[in-house]
Each structure stands twice: as structure tokens, then as C-alpha cells.
Amino acid sequence: MDIVALSETRWLETGSIKEKDCTIFWNGKGETEAQVHGVGFAVKNSLLKHIDTPVGISPRLLRIRIHTESGYLTLLSVYAPTLQADEDVKDSFYRLLEDEVRHVPARDSLRSLLKEVLHTRAIRSTDWDTDHCLVLGKIRTFLKKLSKSQQAGRKRTDREGAKNPEKVNSFLKAVSESCGEDWEDISLIVHEQALRHFGSQPREGKDWFTKDLLPLVEDKREALLRYREVSTHSNFTRLETARQNLQRETRKCANQYWLDLCQKIQVSADTGNLREMYDGIKTAIGPTRRKVAPLRDLQGNLLTDTDQQLQRWTEHYSALYGSEPIIDLEAIDQPPDLPCLSELDFVPTVEELLRSINDLSNNKATGTDGIPAEIIKVLAVPHSPTLLQLHRSVVSYWQRGQVPQCLKDAQFIQLYKNTGDKSDCNNYRGISLLDVFGKSVARLVLKRLQVLGEYIYPESQCGFRSNRSTIDMVFTLRQLEEKCREIHVNLYIAFVDLTKAFDTVSRAGLYRVLVTIGCPPTLLKIVQSFHDGMEASISFDGDVSDSFSVRCGVKQGCVIAPCLFNIYFSYLLHHAFDDNTLGVYLHTRFDEGLFNVQRFRAKTKVSHSTVTDLLFADNAALFAHTADDLQTLLDRFTSSCAVFGLKISESKTVVMCQEVEDQAALQTFLVNGKKIAVVDEFCYLGSCISSMASMEADLNSRIVRAAGCFGQLRRRVWANKKLRLKTKIAVSPGSTASTCTI
């Protein structure tokens, strides 16, 4: 079956789930309404390129349009109310249905294809555990061949095959015999041999259903067919026995699956393996339901056609990355001028390359070459011919100061920011999918850039730095709140949000900053070669757009992007607050012993410092004791952002005030002449900060997260009759409690 209309889906809102062979689209009621009704379509994955984004009319009506040789074919999934329903409900439904049929474009095929319906019958052999029968119809039509601008890329290699020693040895032997001179040639050979020896990456996900259940399912189906043909007591007994056997085994498989999964989550949480813990929780919650939302063009019109949506994404990113931001180069050329660190220009050694490859993270998305990090690590065997050949390629890049085009190009995917209108492209974050070997080369550059960065990073910057994390920033902020409240001092905090900070970095300004802080010429050329001449394409709904030029920003997804942004942002802060004396004043004392009274009187043991900001990459929080001082800091920061080509989002920048008695008398805080909001609570780096210096809001948010995870498991665990009470009790600490304590 190619397309199946579904009724009583009972799923909330509008969304889709992509399975191995088909994709399920649905439309249901809102989150605050009862989970009843709901309609949907199950569409074969091979047909997805021929359909528009489904449009939900109501929880009882869903429309889908298919491209055919004779034009569009419109299908409606309808779930009509029963005769016992209220007259108002029935009248409303049929009015909507009539309006929908009337508004189908005249050129679309609806009733005109009735003569093309070749066969319709009820399929009694399908086993649904219900007295309803599946109605199957065959329609004679020809799907339109749609021309695509570009292929989606190479097949993904199976990562699990790299754990088999026999396959690895045969793979290395095959690659070493036909290894090329440059990575562009090597990658073709590696991908071809990896597919041959390891196979392609499977799509299906593991669940409690095992192959051992298939014979029992077939026995039950045969017993059902026999009972429908001859309704005797013996056939009914055989059917009941087959059902009981299947139910017994499914309960056993489901219980064992959930016990193993919960043990995995708990062990990962106890050992601090957050990645495995999150993966386990996602597996427990179930497949991701992707919200289906048509995009809007620049005029605000909805785009339901996938080709038009892909074109809209291309238009959006071309406008975002197509032009260089306007900056003031004279301001960037101002001191400090640091000496050139020529020792950073040395050619990477084989040992460096080996460490760089081994530092690559597993289970990450691949670039267009389809080669994952696990396969690259297989090639990096010490003293092997493949590793030496890779090193020769890196040396040639370093000596020429140029990396090949395939290592600089990117493919963008879109990640929703979980805030704002889903039809607005600005509410999505573009992530670059890069070739993994290019990431290992970039790691060699990263080690050198980190040396440069330490000369300019402020002490308050904890983003993407060794032995620092969000915990340091949240702890420091809470300490400032507590100490100011303890001594009854006003505290004003501005949480500043930059609009697409990583995407709007001026590359000309970045290169000038690197020279100013002592970047040697060869290292600078390598950094430039990763960005200059870069081409990108958009991956959307299985299709890939034509490539376009990227002229600004650092690549989100590249390992050197955070370091480059930190350097650029640190230079901006130096420009803004170099001679600043405003902020929160700290007086600290370091003593040899807690009970040494004489040391408490020693003035030489007192340290004075001023806290102006707390930083985590582009997340900035500015501090002051008075409203005027905070406005001054905001003005200086805004002015420097304009000089360096960055822009502050006035709508997302907020101010929080603590220990201010008359809240109504607060002055208006301005950014770029626009008023910004004053709030009592703000989520800073995942922790809820309150103007009362209280932990209550943060604790409530953690409880809400745990409750949300608990609710998402209702259908799969708590209301699952196949699971024993012991199994359900074991699920709770492994999933919900782990979510609460993160």
C-alpha cells in the first residue's frame, strides 16, 4: 500500500514521524484539549518527493496533494462523527468538508478520477485486532517526474562494521593497495571500500519487537483467517490459544527491553556519561514527532510545496551569508599589538594528526562524503601506510596554505530554536555538516588558535575553554546575587542577546584581529582557506539545493568556529570595556587559616576586583550597582557591536533588578534607542535566575522537566498493559529522575 488514510490517531496538533518504510502525517486537537479524534496519512517514503506538505483543516480533516502527470491529485483523510453525535458537531463537520471540496482548485483531480479507480474491496485478511476491515482501492495514475537540482550525497557507511576486526583488516588492506595522493581521491576509495566491507548504515531503530515474535504473529493470522472462513468452536479455541501465546511473548520481550534500557540510562547517569543517558531517555520517549509547519515567504504567504520551501531556505541563507558585514577596520587596528607567535607555524607531526583523529567524537553526522569518524579512526593506525598518506596530504595543505574545496564546503540543516513561529526561517539555527577528515585537520588548527586565544580571553569567558563550563557562570552569578542581597546593595543585570552572532562575524575583521594578537602568516592562511571561497547547499526534506557562496560568519559545526568567535568577541569586549571602572566591586581575602585572627586584619591579604560581565561564548550578562551605570555599560557594548558588525536583539535582551525597593520607579533601559524589558525571572544557561535570589523557580523548572518526561512516557510505559508493575517502577528513576537532576 502506497498511501493509507488513518482515523482516530489521537495525537496532538500537527506533525509527522518518519519510519523505515513510510512517513505518518497527522492532525489532531491542541495540547489543552482532550486527545480524541485525529486524522492522518501514512505515505510510502518513495512518494514523499511527489507530495506537498499536508495541511490540517480540523481534527477530522487532513488534505494532501500529489504531483501527477495530469496535474495535482487532492486526497482528503476524513473522520466523520457518528450518528449519536450532537447535531451541531455533525453540521460543523459537513460544512467544513463541503467548503474544503469546494475550494479544491478546478485543475486538481478529485471527482474526475473516479473512472480511474480500478478496484475497491474490503481486505479481511488484515489482522488489526478489531472488527473493522481495511478498505483498499487501486487508482490508475502516473506520478510526475520531478527534476531535482542535486543528489542528496553518498550513502552513509555502517559504523558498527568498524568494530569487526576481520572486516577492518580486509578494509585496510584494500585501501592501502589503491590509496590516492590527496584526500579528494582518498575519500572516494575509502567510501567505496567502506561500503563494500562494512555495508551501508541501516535506518531501522531497535525496539522491543524481536524476530522471535514473527512466527507467533503468523500463527495468529492463520488462525484468524481459518476462523473467519469456518466459525467453529475448535477454530475459535485455536485462535484464542494463538493470541495468548503471542501476548505472553510480547509481554516478556517488552519487559526485558525496558529493564535493559532503564539499566543503561541509570548506569550512564551514575558514571557521568551524559550522551548515553540522553540517548537512552530519547529512546524511552519514542520517535521524534516532527512538527509540520509550512514556511512563509518574504511577503508572508504560506509555502506548502517542498520545492518552494527549499527555494525559500536557499533565499534565506543566501541573504544571511551573501554579504560581508560593515565594520570599522581602524578601530580594530588599535592596540593591543601582540608579538607574532611564529612557533605556531610549524608543520603538524604524525603524532599530532593521530591525536587529532582520535579526538574526533563518534556518532556524529557526516558530511557529503558519507564517511563517519569511526571509519577515519580505522585508517589512523600508528605507522600504517594510510596514516602516513593522510599526513602527507596535511603537510601539503600546510605548506601551500590552502585546503581542498571539499574540506571547506558545507551542507546546512535547520534546527528549530523551540521559540517563535515555526513558519519563520529566522527561528531556525543553521548547522553546517562538514567532512569529518576536515574536522581532524581543523583540530590541528584549533590547538594553535587556543594558544592565541589565551592571550586575549577575559577571565569571565568560560565558553568552549578547558576546565570551564556553564556551572562556573551560574555559580558566580548566584554568588553575586546572594552577596549583594546579604549586604543590601542593589544589583542590576542585563542579559544581552546577539542576533545570529556566529553567522554575522566579519571575516575581514576576524583576520585583522588574528594578525593583531600575533597570529603567524601560515596559520592565518590556513584559517582563511577554511572560509574564503566556501560554498554551501541546503538539505531539506531529503532534497539538496544548488550551492551558493558564503562570505561571512564562522561555520557552526566546525571545531574552530567557537574559538574564532571567542577571539573576535574578546577583542570586541576589550574595545568596549578597556578603560571601564563600572561594575560590581568585590573585596576578597585569602588567609592561611580560618581562625587566624591576625590575618583577618592584614590589609595586604585583601584583593579588589570589578565584575563587569559574565560570558559563555555569545551569552553575555552585564552587571552594575546602579541603573545609570548599567545603561552606560549597555551603551558602550552596543557601540562596540556596531563597530565590529554584530547586532543586539532588542526583543530578547532583558534587564533584571535585585534589591530595588520601588520597582515602578525604574528608569527605562534602552538599546539602540529601543526600550528593553525588565523581568523578574530569566533562564540563564539552563538555570532559572530570580530577582529574589531564590532557587524556587529553578527547582520548579526541573520538576516541570521531570513531569514532562513522565507524561511523555504515559502511553509507552505507564498505560502499557504489557509491562509489569516492577518494570514500571524501574523506569521512573532511570528516566524521569535523571531528567530532574540534570
Q: What is the dihedral of CA 246, 248, 252, 258, to 10 degrees?
A: 80
Query: How confident is the model over 405-425, as pLDDT tens digits?
Result: 999 999 998 888 877 788 888
Give Cα 486 to chain centroid, integer Å: 41
**Angstrom distance (rounded) from CA 317 to CA 426:** 10
Q: Using an 8 Å Cβ cutoff, are 197 and 170 in contact?
A: yes
Q: What is the dihedral of CA 30, 31, 35, 41, to 10 degrees?
A: 60
| DSSP result, 122-146 | EE-S---SSS--EEEEEE---B---
The residue whose grid cell reads 579526538 is 359
Q: How far is CA 100 from CA 138, 170, 570, 676, in A?
A: 24, 61, 57, 44
The alpha helices in 199-301, defined as continuous H runs, are 214-229, 233-271, 274-285
From start to end of 643-708, where are the E strands? 654-658, 670-671, 674-675, 677-679, 681-684, 687-690
Contacts of 255 by beta carbon, 8 Å cutoff, 6+ apart = 722, 723, 724, 727
Q: Using an 8 Å Cβ cutoff, are 321 and 553 in contact?
A: yes
Percent of the chain with pLDDT over 70: 89
Contacts of 438 by beta carbon, 8 Å cutoff, 6+ apart = 367, 403, 406, 407, 408, 530, 558
CA angle (298 as vertex; 498, 66 as ends), nearest 5: 120
Pull the grid cell for residue 654.
Answer: 532583558
What is the model's pLDDT at position 399?
92
Pull the grid cell for residue 586.
Answer: 568585590
What is the model's pLDDT at position 238?
93
**Angstrom distance (rounded) from CA 79 to CA 132:** 14
Question: Burial letters for 668-687: b for 16+ Cβ neighbours within 10 Å, e otherwise?
Answer: ebebeeeebebeebbebbeb
What is the model's pLDDT at position 207?
73
- The DSSP symbol for 342 reads G
- The DSSP symbol for 109 reads B
Long-range contacts of 623-627 (CB under 8 A, 24+ apart): 623/480, 623/491, 623/492, 623/493, 623/583, 623/584, 624/492, 624/582, 624/583, 624/584, 625/489, 625/490, 625/491, 625/492, 625/584, 625/585, 626/490, 626/492, 627/492, 627/657, 627/666, 627/667, 627/669
Q: Using an 8 Å Cβ cutoff, are 624 and 637 in contact?
A: no
Length of the chain: 742
The parts of the chain modelled with pLDDT lower than 50 are: 149-152
| DSSP result, 536-561 | EEEEETTEEPPPEE--SS--BTBTTH
Whether residue 336 has a cis bond before it, omega within 30° of 0:
yes
What is the model's pLDDT at position 206?
56
Pull the grid cell for residue 311.
Answer: 527555494
Pull the grid cell for residue 709.
Answer: 518526561
Q: List 654's β-bridge partners, or say none.
A: 495, 677
**Angstrom distance (rounded) from CA 397 to CA 620:** 37
What is the model's pLDDT at position 149?
47
Pull the grid cell for residue 639.
Answer: 557601540
Q: Using an 8 Å Cβ cutoff, are 344 and 439 in contact?
A: no
Pull the grid cell for residue 285.
Answer: 520517549
Pull the grid cell for residue 398.
Answer: 600546510
- Residue 705's H or E segment, with its range, is helix 696-712
* CB-count exposure of residue 387 (10 Å: 0-12, 13-18, 19+): middle
**Angstrom distance (rounded) from CA 613 to CA 633:** 10
The pTM score is 0.77
The alpha helices in 286-334, defined as continuous H runs, are 306-321, 329-332
Q: What is the dihedral of CA 20, 26, 31, 37, to 10 degrees?
A: -120
Query: How confident is the model over 7-57, as pLDDT tens digits?
Result: 888 887 888 887 778 888 888 887 778 878 899 999 998 888 788 878 888
**Angstrom distance (rounded) from CA 534 to CA 529:** 8
Q: Could you tell me the end-to-end alpha-carbon distance of the chain, in angstroms, rounded to an integer? A: 44
| DSSP result, 65-120 | EEEETTEEEEEEEE-PPPTTS-HHHHHHHHHHHHHHHHTS-TTSBSGGGGGGEEEE
